Structures are given as C-alpha cells and as structure tokens.
Amino acid sequence: MKIIDINKDRCTRSYACIRACPVKAITVRSQDGMPVVNHNRCIGCGNCLSVCAADAVSHYSDLDETISLLKSDQPVAAIVDPAISGEFPDITDYRKFVEMIRTLGFNYVNEMSFGVDLVANKYRELLSDFRGKYYLMSNCPSLVLYIEKYFPGLIANLAPVVTPVTASAKVVRKAFGADLKVVFIGPCLSAKHEATLHGEDGRIDAVLTFKELRELFRKFDIKEAQVEFSEFDKPIGRLGALYPISKGILEAAGLDDSQTKGQVITVQGKNSMLDIVDEFSDHPEALKKHFNIFFHTGCLAGPGITDRSNRFMRRTMVADYVQKRLRIIDKKQWEKDLEQYRDIDLGRRFENDDQNMEMPGSDQIEEILKSLGKSLDETAACNACGFRSCRDFAASISQGLSRPEMCLNYSIKNKQEYIKTLKNNNEKLKQQQESLVSKEKSLLEENVSLRQKSDTTSALLKNLPSAAVIVDEHLKVIESNKSFIQVLGEEAEMINEVIPGLKGADLKTLLPYNIYNLFTYVLENDENITGKDVQHDDRLLNVSIYSLKPNKIVGGVLRDMYVAEVRQEEIINRVGEVIDENLKMVQQIAFSLGEGASKTEKMLNSIIETYRKTKKE
C-alpha cells in the first residue's frame, strides 16, 4: 500500500523527511541524491509530512475515490472519528457538523464511538482472563505495521482484536446493508493501510483525513450557517467517544491502569513506542504488564489533524463533548445495541512482513563511526539524524538506508572544511586573476604593437610596385596586393571584387604548378629562393620567395620582366652585376699577375746574387 509520496520538483534534498522517519522507509537514491519512499518499509505514521519546509512530502489522497462513490447509485456511509470535537472547534454544534457531512451526499453518518465500545468490551474480556501472556493492544495501525515489519517475533503478543474503524464498518453494514460503501473520516494516516486488510463486512472503501474533509467542504461550498441540526445515525457509543485521548479506550473498557493494581500501561509518542517495543521484546515477563500503545500522543495529534497545536485545549474539548453526549444518550438503548451487535466477529490475524536487514559487523560499524568522527561509545547520540544512537546510524549507512550527510556534526565539519578550502582557493584565484590582468595588459599592448606592424606591412604591401603575396602553412592567401592580382589576370580580378585581397584563396588554384611548387619548397625546407626566372603564359616572371615564419608563413614577390620599367631596371641591375663580375675577374687576374711578377723578381734577384758570389770566388 502506497501512503507517502515525494514531489521531485519541490524537493530541496534537505533530508528532513529521512531524519524524521522512525523506520528509515525513506532512503536516498544514489544517482541523483533524491529521497525516495520504500513503501514496503513504511508504517504510515506520517512523521515525514510535517517536517518538510518545501512541502514536497504528501500522502496519497482518496478524495477522487470518495467523490466517485458519492456520485454512484450505491448507498455510502461515513464513519467519523470522535476526534471531530478537537479538530473542528470552529463548528459550534456537532449536529451542524453531521448535517454538513450529509450534505456532501452521504446516506448515513455514524460516529466510531460505538465501534470503540465494542472493541473495548473485547479487550476487557481478553485482558481480564489472564493466562500468562502479556499483550500489546493493536488499536494503532502504525504500531501493528511496526511489529509486523521489524519485530515479527512479537506478532504472537499483538492482541488479536480489530481496530475500532474495522469494527464500525462491520456495525454499519449489519445495520444498513451488506452492499454499503464505507468511508472513514479521521486523523489517522495509517488507517489508509488498515482499510485494505479486511474483506466483506470489515471493508473500508476510502479513507479521508480531517484535512481532506475540510477540502471537500470548500470544494462544494458547504458552510455551517447553511445547514440545520442532524444527529448521528444509530447505534451511538458512550465512553468510546473518549478514544482520541490515549487512555480513553481503557476507560471505555473499564480496565485499571493505576500504578499499583493496574493491568495496562498506556504509552504514547514515537520515541516511547520504539522504546517500549524494544524493552517488551527483551523483557516481557519482567515488565508484567499489557500495553496500550499509540505512535502519536493520542489521535488528537495524528497526521490527519489540521492543526496539532494546543493539544491540551483540544483534549479538554473532547472531554467536554463526551460529557454532553453522556447526558443525552439513552444508556438502556446503548446496552440493547451492544447485545444486538455482540455476535460481530472482532478477531483478526497478523502478517509476518519482516523488513529487517542484515546487520553489519562491529568492525564495519566502527570504521564508519571513525569516518564520521564519532565516538565508539554504544550510547553516544545527539539524535539529530533521527536515530537513537550513532551506532544505529552507522549501521543504517552500511545498509544503504542513510547517508553520512544526514549527521549534523559531520555536515557542519565538512562545511567548515569546505569553507576553508574555498577561502584558500579564492586567494589563489585572486593571485591568478591579478597575474592574468597583468598578462592581459601586456598582451593588449603587444596586440596594439602587432596591429600597428600589421597595418604598416599591409600598407607597404599595397604600395609595392611588384606583385606580392603572403600565404599560410596550407598555402591559403593571407594577403596580396593589387599587382599580384593583375599578374594573375582578369579571373582573379573578378574574384577580388567579391573577396578583397583574395584572402583564403588556395594558391594552387591561382598559380601554375612550376611557381606553386616553389612556395611549397620554401615552406617545407625553410630555404629562400631569390631571383628565379619563370615563364608564365606570355610573361617572364622573376620570382623571389622568402620564409617569413618557419614552416608557417611564406611571402613571395613576382616581377613581370616584360614591363618596361621593370625591364629597364632589370637590365641596369644585370649590367651592373656583369660589370661587377668582370671587375672582380680583372682584379683577380691583376692580383695573380702581380703575385707572379713578384715571385719572378725574387727568383731573378736570387740568381744574380748567386752569380756574383761565384764570380768573386
């Protein structure tokens, strides 16, 4: 049975619902950290509903089902929990409240108090005839689910008596027909699960909380001022109307709960319920008592109540309501009704639905505790995580039911370390930012300088009389001048009108292979080529190619040797080169002749000197 739902869009992942759940039926999904409900583990206590600040946790509603029943042709009865007197202090007379419910479309409106009286009598018979077994009274559906799922060994100690809700369903079906549809209206959320357990006469077709009932009143615009008085349909209970107060059913049953002679101890509230079940499991014979147990502090504090504040004032309102009812109820008629419905079967069985998980070893638990920075003390706990001890929390982490972040101290410590890390990172980032600002300034200055140089180069390139082009490593044109485009011909001039400077054009599509290949050579070998004559169409081009950036950027200059100015200039240059070469040759000849004459002179002088010496001798 699905009772609790979590809205993923609203959820802020505060994990308050996980901390509040006494059985950890809400766990964290590993992939996105989203809390999810394990419906098999849920006991329907509704503890998670009131702790979510984002209002992301809700319960499944029977509103639509109830409206459908009311619109059907079948008769429908409302069973109302006597906690109405504490829930609706704004309604001045309970008879107005009854008529408001009838106006919704219910054929019968019955108060659960008579069902409580029947169940109370059953408990008096069971507990008064003591045969050595101590019982846990099974009125609270959340308690029953807790025993079935987490203490199945205590199922034999659950009193085999139906809840007052189920008893009331059996009563109204006997009174008004077996085909009757029944809707329970009360403060209990786990009654939604209880409704699914019993077939035939004990069946509950829909369960509404008091909050949902108020919603129905608003939906159909039903107000107290618009209706007359109306009484509950018979049979009507007496002291069973005290049921919203935890000890009310004991008073209705006439069971002694005094400290000295009492047979039964009443326990109420989440922690008290968990504690007594633990103790009863370990020492049932030592306690020597039966226990009347409620998860909440009475039905007046149930999750279906609109406002759970002013609990003691509401308790007083219930007591006053019962006193008024006792003054007008016909006790003899009540006794006749008890006799008439005495043959109703109020027995029940329970289901072993063990949800306990394998407990991790002590070493594993202690390892987790150390990682959390926790004491290894068995009883250490701050309870902020929702567990009764740190060891229970560590075991739950090992079982995959909880996450370390649920520990408040661990989260605070991690956050402090995280803040410290953030501060250190911020300091480093600040230093890096200052460094980057300085580098950015330097780069901007360099960029301005490069732009100026680029502009100067572009201007120089455009005004150069010779054809010039600069290409990248893929031999794509970076920049070219007008003379280059003119050398290429009319087709290039047309392209230039669309793409100025032929930027991005592939050089191989512009130049013949013998010239294109020269650019490839310089690019690959980083070796300049100067003054190479190349025939292009009917022109003779003088080509010079330079490596501007090794293996990255190449520049080329092409001069049309048939242009008059270039031809005259080139003839002068080449005549000059010839003259220079001839002068160098003459100088070398003269030098060689001079050097030979000097050697001849030295040789002749040596011969003359030798001859003179010989003559003297």
DSSP 193-233: HHTTT--GGG---EEEEHHHHHHHHHHTT--GGG----PPP
Round to whole Å and give the CA distance between 112 and 154: 28
Q: Tens digit of pLDDT for each residue in 266-322?
A: 999 999 999 999 999 998 888 889 999 999 988 888 888 887 777 788 888 888 888
CA-CA distances (angstroms) from residue 612 to 271, 600, 603, 615?
145, 18, 14, 5
* Residues contacting 488, CB < 8 A, separation 6+: 510, 511
Joined together, the tokens standing for residue 183 give 């809707």
Torsion of CA 271, 30, 189, 275, to 10 degrees: -10
Residue 529 β-bridge partners:
545
* Residues contacting 29, CB < 8 A, separation 6+: 35, 36
Q: Which residue has the tokens 């190349």?
A: 534
Is the pTM above the cut of 0.85? Answer: no
Reported residue count of the chain is: 617
Q: What is the pLDDT of residue 397?
A: 78
- Say how many CA atoms lie within 13 Å of 120 toward its Cβ: 25
CA-CA distances (angstroms) from residue 31 to 35, 385, 562?
11, 22, 79
Joined together, the tokens standing for residue 101 give 């419910």
Q: Which residue has the tokens 């030592």?
A: 286
Is 178:150 a contact under the CB 8 Å cutoff?
A: no
What angle in degrees, to the nearest 10, is found between the helix axes of 362-371 and 390-398?
100
Is 138:158 a contact under the CB 8 Å cutoff?
A: yes
Joined together, the tokens standing for residue 117 give 């009286």
Q: What is the pLDDT of residue 292?
A: 95
What SS3 class is residue 359?
coil
Residue 480 β-bridge partners:
469
User: Which of these, 120, 72, 376, lies nearest to 248 by C-alpha position?
Assistant: 120
Round to whole Å and give the CA distance between 2 and 192: 9
Joined together, the tokens standing for residue 472 give 């990248």
Joined together, the tokens standing for residue 145 give 């689910």
User: Which of these, 515, 496, 507, lies nearest to 474 by C-alpha position?
Assistant: 507
Burial tier of 273 (Cβ tally within 10 Å: 0-12, 13-18, 19+):
buried
**Pairing state of beta strands 57-59 and 4-6?**
antiparallel
Helices (H) and strands (E) in the chain, counts: 21, 16
Query: Residue 450 is inside which H or E element, if any?
Result: helix 408-463
Query: Residue 505 is which amino acid?
Result: A
Residue 547 β-bridge partners:
554
CA-CA distances (angstroms) from residue 480 to 110, 259, 496?
100, 109, 10
CA-CA distances (angstroms) from residue 47 to 41, 58, 83, 138, 293?
14, 11, 19, 20, 16
User: Which of these, 400, 436, 137, lies nearest to 291 by C-alpha position?
Assistant: 137
Residue 557 β-bridge partners:
468, 544
φ and ψ at 182, to 5 degrees? Answer: -120, 130
CB atoms within 10 A of CB 124: 16
Joined together, the tokens standing for residue 35 give 């809390």
Q: What is the pLDDT of residue 387?
A: 73
Handedness of CA 492, 498, 502, 504 (dihedral sign): negative
Q: What is the pLDDT of residue 379?
A: 55
Is 410:404 a contact under the CB 8 Å cutoff?
A: yes
DSSP 537-556: TTEEEEEEEEEEETTTEEEE
Round to whole Å and give the CA distance between 273 and 159: 16
Residue ranges of the chain with pLDDT lower than 70? 30, 90-92, 375-386, 388, 405-406, 408-418, 449-460, 563-617
User: Which of these, 166, 205, 198, lies nearest to 69 by C-alpha position?
Assistant: 205
Joined together, the tokens standing for residue 600 give 């001849």
Round to whole Å and give the CA distance between 89 and 300: 13
Is 40:354 a contact under the CB 8 Å cutoff?
A: no
What domains are defined for the chain? 1-60 (3.30.70.20), 61-233+240-340 (no CATH), 464-562 (3.30.450.20)
Q: What is the pLDDT of residue 465?
A: 77
User: Which of these, 558, 533, 538, lies nearest to 470 by C-alpha position?
Assistant: 558
